[in-house]
Amino acid sequence: MAKKITIALAGNPNSGKTTIFNNLTGSRQHVGNWPGVTVEKKEGSLKYKDYEIKVVDLPGTYSLTAYSLDEVVARNFVVEERPDVVVDIVDASNLERNLYLTTQFMELGVRLVIALNMSDRAEESGHKIDTKKLSELLGVPVVSTIGHKNRGMDELLQAIVDVADGKFDRGNVTPRYGEEIEEEIRKIEELIQRDAGLMQRYAPRWIAIKLLEGDEEVTKKVTGEK
C-alpha cells in the first residue's frame, strides 16, 4: 500500500521553484486556478519509494503577509489544507532575503524542508554556506540542490518523507522579538489559547504576531467574519 502525502513547494520568485517542480513531477502535472481567484495553480504527482506524493506549487512570494493576493493564496493553502510537508526553495545566492519567507513558515509551525537551491552559483561568487549549521540553527533539514542540473532531488525526497514520517523533530525554533514584544505576544497568546476555535486551526503564537502586525486577514478571522 502506497502512503499518500501532500507537499507544497514554496519559495521566492526566481528561486528556481518551477524547475524543481518540473524535476519532481515530470509530465504528471495539471494547471488550474486557485479557488475564487485568478492565480494559476499547478499540481503534480510522483512516486518515491512506497509514497505517492502530491505536489502543489504555491505562488512565488517573498513573505506571507496579507498585502498581496499571491501571499494570501500561499498562506491560506498552508493553513487550511495542511500539506504534510512544506518545501521551501531557498536561493543560496540570495540567502538573507530568501530566509525571510522561511521564518514565516517556521512561525506558522508547519513541517518544513529547505532546498538550498543554486548552491553552485553561490559558491561561484565566493559564498560558502555551512548547510549542516544552517540546519542545526533552524531545526529544519536542509538539502543542497541544483535545479537546472537536476541534482539533489533524491536527497530532497528522502528528507521530505523523513519529515512526513515525523523522523525529524524541529524543536521550537522561531525568531524572538525581544523582551517587550515577547511580553505582549505572551499576553495575547494566553487569550487565544482559551479559544478552542482559533486553537484548532492556527499556531497561537502565529496569530498573536499577525495581530500585532495588524494583519487584516487574521484580524477578520478573529472577529469572526468568514
Partner 1 sequence: MDRREILDQVRKSSEHLKGIFDDEVETIIVDRRYGFINGIYKKVVSRPAIERLSASDQIDRVVLNRVLGIPIFLFLMWLMFKFTFTLSEVPMGWVESGQEWLGNIFGRFFPAESAFQSLVVEGIIGGVGSVIIFVPIIFLLFFCMAILEDSGYMARAAFVMDRFMHKIGLHGRSFIPMILGLGCNIPGIMACRTIDQERDRLTTILVNPFMSCGARLPVYALLIGAFFPEKGGTVLYSIYILGIVMAIVMAKLFRKYLFPGPAAPFVMELPPYRIPTIKGVIIHMWERGVLYLKKAGTIILAGCVLVWFLGNFPWSPEYSKDYDRLKQEVKADSASGLITKAARDESIANLENEQAREKMEKSYLGGLGRIIEPVVKPLGFDWKIGVGLFGGFIAKEIVVGTLGTLYAVGEADEESAPLRERIQRDTWPDGRKIYTPLTAFTLMVFTLLYMPCVAAIGVIYRETNSWKWPLFAAGYTTAVAWVVSFIVYQGGRLIGLG
The answer to whether the CB of 185 falls within 8 A of the CB of 193 is: no
* Residue 220 sits in the site that holds partner 1 (CB under 8 A): no
Binding mask 128-147 for partner 1 (x = CB under 8 A): xxxx-xx-xxx---------
Q: Which of 27, 32, 194, 226 binds partner 1 (CB under 8 A)?
A: 194
CA distance 54 to 173: 27
Q: Which is nearer to partner 1, 38 or 223 (CB)?
A: 223
CA distance 208 to 191: 9
Q: How many CA atoms lie within 13 A of 121 on its CB side?
A: 16
Q: Could you tell me the smallest distance in angstroms from the CB atom of residue 135 to partner 1?
A: 9
CA distance 141 to 171: 12
Q: Which is nearer to partner 1, 24 or 64 (CB)?
A: 64
The residue count for binding partner 1 (CB under 8 A) is 47
* Residue 177 sits in the site that holds partner 1 (CB under 8 A): yes
Torsion angle defined by CA atoms of residues 163, 204, 80 and 197, in that order, rounded to the nearest 10 degrees: 130
Helix (H, G, I), strand (E, B) or coil at 9: strand
* Residue 214 sits in the site that holds partner 1 (CB under 8 A): yes
CA distance 50 to 98: 32
Q: What residues form DSSP beta bridges with 151?
A: 146
Q: Which of 125, 169, 200, 226 binds partner 1 (CB under 8 A)?
A: 125
Q: Which is nearer to partner 1, 24 or 140 (CB)?
A: 140
Can you give the binding site for partner 1, defined by CB under 8 A?
95-96, 99-100, 103, 125-131, 133-134, 136-138, 171-173, 175-182, 184, 187-188, 191-192, 194-198, 209, 211-214, 219, 222-224
